[in-house]
């Protein structure tokens, strides 16, 4: 059974940093592209960042480019999202999601995702 468990969210002020983690199990972690999407209240889901499995190539949404950094530790089956210079518009529930390819991630074709972790940024 695929399990993705996010953690690390919280309430911070604008300009602060947070590091999200996603512990994965139930599949061969290092074979799978994996990333983060978020959903703000009253809004649709937005793909934030994804990291490939084969070459470690990454994707970032324009809204987070230069502020967020995605990484994966295949030995620990864990995905991370370092979020710096947080803005109130980053407030959302953040989900870790497995996918078949970066292209699928960009078209919101996520195979599995966790329960999410809430990030709230106050101004």
CA 67 to chain centre: 13
What does each of the 123 residues of the chain score in pLDDT, given as a tens digit? 999 999 999 999 999 999 999 999 999 999 999 999 999 999 999 999 999 998 889 999 999 999 999 999 999 999 999 999 999 999 999 999 999 998 999 898 999 999 999 999 999
Residue 3 and residue 12: Cα distance in Å, rounded? 27
Residue 48 and residue 10: Cα distance in Å, rounded? 18
pLDDT of residue 97: 95
pLDDT of residue 54: 84
pLDDT of residue 92: 98
pLDDT of residue 7: 98
């Amino acid at each position: 059974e695929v399990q993705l468990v996010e953690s690390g969210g919280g309430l911070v002020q604008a300009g602060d940093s947070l590091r999200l983690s996603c512990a994965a199990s139930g599949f061969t972690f290092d074979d799978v592209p994996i990333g983060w999407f978020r959903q703000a209240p009253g809004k649709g889901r937005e793909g934030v960042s994804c990291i490939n499995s084969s070459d470690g190539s990454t994707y970032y949404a324009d809204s987070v480019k230069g502020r967020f950094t995605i990484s994966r530790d295949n030995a620990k089956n864990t995905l991370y999202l370092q979020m710096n210079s947080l803005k109130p518009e980053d407030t959302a529930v953040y989900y870790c999601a497995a996918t078949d390819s970066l292209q699928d991630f960009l078209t919101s074709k996520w195979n599995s995702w966790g329960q999410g972790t809430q990030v709230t940024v106050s101004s």
